[in-house]
Structures are given as C-alpha cells and as structure tokens.
Structure 1
C-alpha cells in the first residue's frame, strides 16, 4: 500500500532527486506522512478484523 501511494505521489522511481530546499522538502514530507498514516490505518483495520475473529464468542 505504501508503494502504491508513493508511486501515486511520485516519490519513488529512477529519476527521483532528494529535496534541495524547503520548497521541495515540505511536499515531500507531507507525502511521506500521508503514506505512513495510510499504512498504519491498514494495519489497524487488519488488527480489528483479527480481533473480531478471535473474540467471536463475545458477540
């Protein structure tokens, strides 16, 4: 999922250059932050589903 988001925002690939100034750094960090949040949300969703499966007798 993180790779898909990174490709969507174009932060990976053969022609990527590291940010050289603040104007390039802020969108880059924002993109990385959004990618991390999406990956964390995916893991929380997987954990919630696993918890519901394990604790199925409660319901």
Structure 2
C-alpha cells in the first residue's frame, strides 16, 4: 500500500492529491470517517478501470 499512500500533509500537497475528487475533476470519492465528530479515518473509492496506471502496478 505504501506505493499508493505516500502523501504529503501540507495544504498544497492535499490540494494536489485530493482536490480533484472534491471539485469533480477526478472520478473518485474521498470520505472522512468520524466518530463523535472526531475524524478517525479516510476511505477512498474509485473504479479501477478509471485508473489504468494503478491497475498496471497491481501486477
């Protein structure tokens, strides 16, 4: 998983990595998991066929 989840944490890094799913230019959905109002996790979902370069890395 590390090859897919090596993201920076600055505002610019987050915009670069996840901005497209927020503004609708990427075909994915990024979801924040909360418990009692506290963010505790992150889920990203997308169709593999929309990202053939990632599918190729899977072998």
Ranked by relative contact order (alpha carbons within 8 Å, sequence separation 6 or more), the top structure is 1
TM-score by length of structure 2 reads: 0.25
Structure with the higher helix share, 1 or 2? 1
TM-score by length of structure 1 reads: 0.25
Kindly name which structure, 1 or 2, has the bigger radius of gyration based on alpha carbons: 1
